[in-house]
Each structure stands twice: as C-alpha cells, then as structure tokens.
Amino acid sequence: MPPIPAADLQSFAEYLQRSTRILALLGAGLSASSGLPTFRGAGGLWRTFDAMSLATPEAFEENPSLVWQFYSYRRHMALQAEPNRAHYALAQLAKKNKDFVTLSQNVDGLSPRAEHSAEQLHLLHGSLFDFRCTSFYCNYSIKNDFTDPLVPALAIPTQSVRPEPSKDNKTGEEATRTMYEAMASAQNDQELAKEELDISDPFVPLPTLQVEDLPQCPECGGLLRPGVVWFGESLPAHTLRAIDEWIESSPRIDLMLVIGTSSKVWPAAGYVDIAREKGARIAVVNMDRNDAPGGVYGLEPGDWFFEGDASEIVPELLR
C-alpha cells in the first residue's frame, strides 16, 4: 500500500489540531484487519448466502435456525478477534476530546473492547452481544458477551474430516511409510477432533435446528433474537435521539471521519450530509475510492481521501 501523501497528512494534521467538534462514522472495513469479514464485496458471502440477505426480519422469520447459526458464528468470530490499532486510536481520541462522537455501524464489540468511552460511542446497528425476545408483549432483553455458544445447539460441530488411510497392497518400504503416516495422521486426528469445523464453508453440513433448541426467553418462553438492526427496522430510538442532541447542541461540526464503510446504508450514510451542512470537512479512509460517500464524485474541495487499510492509516492520522 502506498504511504499517505505527505501534503495530505500535513494538511489533515493541521486541521485536526484546530478541530473540536468531530464526528466519526465507522463501518466493517475498520475491523477487516482484525479478521472479520465485510458485508459487500469478497467477504460478503456466508456459505452460499449473501450476508445482507440474512440480515433481514424476513430471513429470520423464514429460517430462524439458519439466521441464528449465522449470528452465532459471527459472534464467536468477534469474540476470538482483537481490536486493532485503529480501534485503539479512536478510543484515545475520545479520551482526549470529549466533543468527539463515534457512530459505529459495527456490531462486533471491538470499539467497546478498545475501551472507547461508551457515552461517546453510538452503536447504530446494535450489537452481537445483545438479545431480545420476539414475543409481541414481552420486553425481555439481555446482554451476554461471555457464553459461547449461547445454547448448546449452536455449538460449532467438532469432528475430523480426514479420510481413512488407504488399505492397498504395499511393498515393505511403502507399508512402513504408510504405517508412520497413519500414526502421524491418527495423532493429527486427535488434535483435529478438538478443532471446530468452519461452518462458513458451504461444504460443511449445517444442521437444521428446532426452534425449541434456539435461545429462548426465560420470562415467556418465546424465541430470542440477536439485538442487531436488520434492513427495514428502525435504529434504536434512544441512539438516534442522543446523536440528534449532539448535532443540535452547536451550529458547527468541524470534521467528520468516514472509516471503512461503503456509505450505502441509511440513515447511517446520511450523517455525512448533515455534518457537511454544519461546515464539516470530510476525511475518508477506505481501501476503495469508489466507496467515498456519494461515490467517486462525492468528495468536495477540502475533503481528504486516504486510501488503504484503516488499521494502518487511522493511527497515523490521529497520532
């Protein structure tokens, strides 16, 4: 990846110094170098499914087993992942500047784990670690970022996929080699036996779980669901309100950072226009120039586009 052009870095650093009211919009690209896939593009397929087709209330209604396994897998991966240097750099900026607010579309918990101040972090699309009851009259909800899997049925299967050693007639030397290979293979099998299968691989069979084996509400026995925001659903009202209050609290926003998002999902993407209307200059960090808010022609004079991996660029920018 080419280094950041020195002139851009300098003009950004100077402007950042003078900025107080700063907004950041984060997307899946921020967590890509922590090993978590994005939605659009190469990483956006889970098994044979477009990840976004699973992120809908219709998909959950039609196949709760599949959608629960998708989210349980993503939650498991997020628990294994570590925040990267960009998560920490943003958390540091929040500590230094109480007038900096982050709007994250990510549900992976990596910003909270980097100790980004919770008052300055708004999770637009919820969290993989929140759950709520789907029963109409029940308000049960719970946070759980430690039980993995949430219920036994959601455990990722562990079994060896190694084929049986061949039993063909062999010469003495071949037979000895086969025996040693078989011994090594058996030892490997024991290790493999403890390893999880990769259920994102479409060739690994996925069981169809009964609804009664999926996470259930302890209060009414209804089906629980992940506390994320699916297409067609409203973003959390208290989150939208808190963001509006911050926006309305001053006639000005100095700077908006747009990091690792395709800027294609609303209302999240709309905050860029709101910030611009309040005078903000926009700094985009993305691997793909086409994904600037408003597309390649969406940037205006005075904006910046920093092309490359957010985990490398953001710490440089916020140094």
Residues carrying an active site annotation: 125
CB 71 within 8 A of CB 95: no
Q: DSSP secondary structure string, 90-124?
A: HHHHHHH-TTEEEEE---SSHHHHTT--GGGEEET
Of 30-38, 145-153, 190-198, 241-249, the segment contacting ligand BJW by CB under 6 A is: 30-38
What CA–CA distances, in Å, run from 35 to 51, 147, 302, 313? 16, 21, 33, 17
What is the layout of strands, in order, in the sheet containing 255-259?
Answer: 121-123, 100-104, 22-26, 255-259, 281-286, 304-307
Binding letters toward ligand BJW, positions 208-237, x by CB under 6 A: --------------------xxxxxxx---
Q: Is 55 in the site for ligand BJW (CB under 6 A)?
A: yes
Q: Which of 130, 254, 309, 316 binds ligand BJW (CB under 6 A)?
A: 309
Residue numbers in the known binding site for Zn(2+) are 133, 138, 217, 220
Q: DSSP characters for 174-235?
A: HHHHHHHHHHHHHHHHHHHHHSBP-TTSTTS------GGGS-B-TTT-PBEEEEEPPTTSPP
- Cβ nearer to ligand BJW, comparing 111 with 262: 262
Q: Exactly one of 140, 144, 278, 287 binds Zn ion (CB under 5 A); which one? A: 140
Whole-number minimum distance, CB 188 to ligand BJW, in Å?
34
By CB under 5 A, tell whether 149 contacts Zn ion: no
Q: Which of 264, 295, 300, 302 binds ligand BJW (CB under 6 A)?
A: 264
Q: Which residues bind ligand BJW (CB under 6 A)?
A: 27-29, 32-33, 38-40, 52, 55, 105, 107, 125, 228-234, 260-262, 264-267, 285-288, 291, 309-310
